[in-house]
Amino acid sequence: TGLLPVVINTWPFTNATAAAWNTLVNKKGSIYDALVDGCSVCEIERCDGSVGPGGSPDENGETTLDAMVMNGQTFDVGAVGCLRRIPTAIAVARAVMDYTEQTLLVGELATQFAVEMGFKEMNLSSDSSITMWKDWKARNCQPNYRTNVTPDPTKNCGPYKPKPVLESLQQSENRRNKNIGPRNHDTIGMIVIDEFGNITAGTTTNGLNHKIPGRVGDSPIMGAGAYAMNGVGGAVATGDGDVMMRFLPSFLAVSQMAAGVPPGIITKLTIQNIAKYYPKFSGALIAVDNKGTYGAACYGFPVFHYSVINPVLKTVTIKSVEC
Ligand code: SD4
* Helices 107-116 and 89-99, axial angle in degrees (round to 10): 70
Best substitution site from 208, 212, 274 to test ligand 1's pocket, by max atoms within 8 Å of Cβ?
208
Catalytic one among 10, 63, 64, 187? 187
* Backbone region of residue 223 per phi and psi (left: phi > 0; alpha: psi in -120 to 50; beta: other values): left
pTM metric for this prediction: 0.89
Pairs from 16-23 (Cβ < 8 Å, separation ≥ 24): 16/41, 16/42, 16/45, 16/47, 16/188, 16/190, 16/307, 17/190, 17/307, 17/308, 17/309, 17/316, 18/309, 18/316, 20/190, 20/192, 21/309, 21/316
| Mean pLDDT of successive 10-residue stretches along the chain, which has 323 residues | 91 96 96 98 89 90 96 98 97 98 98 98 93 81 59 56 45 36 66 98 93 94 98 97 96 98 98 96 96 97 95 97 96
Whose CA is closest to atom 3 on ligand 1?
207
- pLDDT at position 147: 52
Predicted local distance difference test score (pLDDT) of residue 112: 98
Task: Indicate whether residue 186 lines ligand 1 (CB < 6 A).
Answer: yes
Task: Please work out whether the CB of residue 218 comes within 6 Å of at least one atom of ligand 1.
Answer: yes
Q: Enter the ipTM.
A: 0.96
Residue 187 annotated as catalytic = yes
d(CA 191, CA 67): 14
Beta bridge partners of 64: 84
Residue 191's DSSP bridge partners are 8, 201
Confidence (pLDDT) at 184: 44
**What pLDDT, on a 0 to 100 scale, did the predictor assign at position 177?**
34
